Amino acid sequence: MKKVIVLGANGQLGKTIKDLPDSGTIDFHFYSRSDLDITNKTKLETLFAYSDFDYCINCAAYTNVEGAETNTEDAFLINAEGARHIAEVCNVYHVKLIHISTDYVFDGESIEPYTTTDQTNPINQYGKSKLQGELYIQEQLNEYYIIRTSWLYALHGKNFVKTIINKIKEDSTLNITTEQVGTPTSCVDLAHFIIHLINQGIVPYGVYNFSANGSTTWYEFAKEIAKNYNSDKLEKIKTSGSFKTVAKRPKYSVFDLKKTERIYKELNTWQNSVGDLIKAYKAGKYLK
């Protein structure tokens, strides 16, 4: 049985991993920020020294894209320095690192899906801090998986799916931007991919893109949520050409998934994944 530590266990991905049924192959140990702050390298070292972890899944991150523009120091402390601390400790104790990154490492100027080797060029502080974390990991480790993902949502935490559902419950009219094109990604799908990496044990190390198949706008994403949750409210979803934000967003951040598909055959369409999650939400239970 592989021993695996999950950092950032109270986030939407960490909680989704915790929800997965016990496969009998992985012994998970979950740590939230209050349990273990990744900006404190000494505490990381103390834990890892006596724990014999095989893998570390780093879900811990500063994810407030707007906040990162003004709280830049905090974003870099967690997303860059925190990632460096984890990588250094993993290196010393021979722990394989699975690190979650983002489509925001790209500038969004491409007209074709991004591959794992395309030039990075983040246009906001969140993206810059996440890219720096990636670079620190690559400097420190040979045995790592950096998973770039996009538009994450889950039954847990704050995310676009739950925001739209709550607005539908309130019978609100919503104006949703059509400016950005990307791919919604269910934390359930991502969690299963992470488990696959661990259980396979022979997947080549490096950077991987992970999302659902297909692409859409935030407006079409919102309509798909409404269609699955309460189709009577579809007319409440309106288009908006722009959405004013402090942070610049990539206008196009669709992933090329060919590298991922060579090692993993279970990719869903984004529409199916949204439907599955909302079924679980309406049933009042977590998706297993």
Flag residues of the chain having pLDDT under 70. Answer: 242-243, 285-288
The pLDDT value recorded for residue 259 is 98
165 within 8 A of 233, measured Cβ to Cβ = no
* DSSP-derived pairing of the beta strands 216-217 and 181-182: antiparallel
Enter the pTM of the model: 0.96
The pLDDT value recorded for residue 245 is 84
Give the span between the Cα atoms of 230 and 24, in whole angstroms: 38
* C-alpha distances out from residue 36 to 30, 33, 119, 252, 256, Å: 10, 5, 33, 35, 35
The pLDDT value recorded for residue 240 is 84
Listed by start position, the domains of the chain span 2-157+184-212+253-268
Catalytic residue among 31, 104, 114, 126: 126
The pLDDT value recorded for residue 287 is 45
Which candidate, 237, 224, 233, places its Cα nearest to that of 273? 224
pLDDT 10s digits, 54-67: 999 999 999 999 99
Query: Does 126 participate in catalysis according to the annotation?
Result: yes
The pLDDT value recorded for residue 285 is 65
The pLDDT value recorded for residue 25 is 93
Token code pair at residue 81 = 């320095």
- What b/e readout covers 19-44, taking b as 16+ CB neighbours within 10 angstroms? bbeeeeebebebbbbeebbbeebebb
The pLDDT value recorded for residue 284 is 84
Which candidate, 33, 121, 134, places its Cα nearest to that of 76? 134
Q: Does domain 2-157+184-212+253-268 have CATH number 3.40.50.720?
A: yes
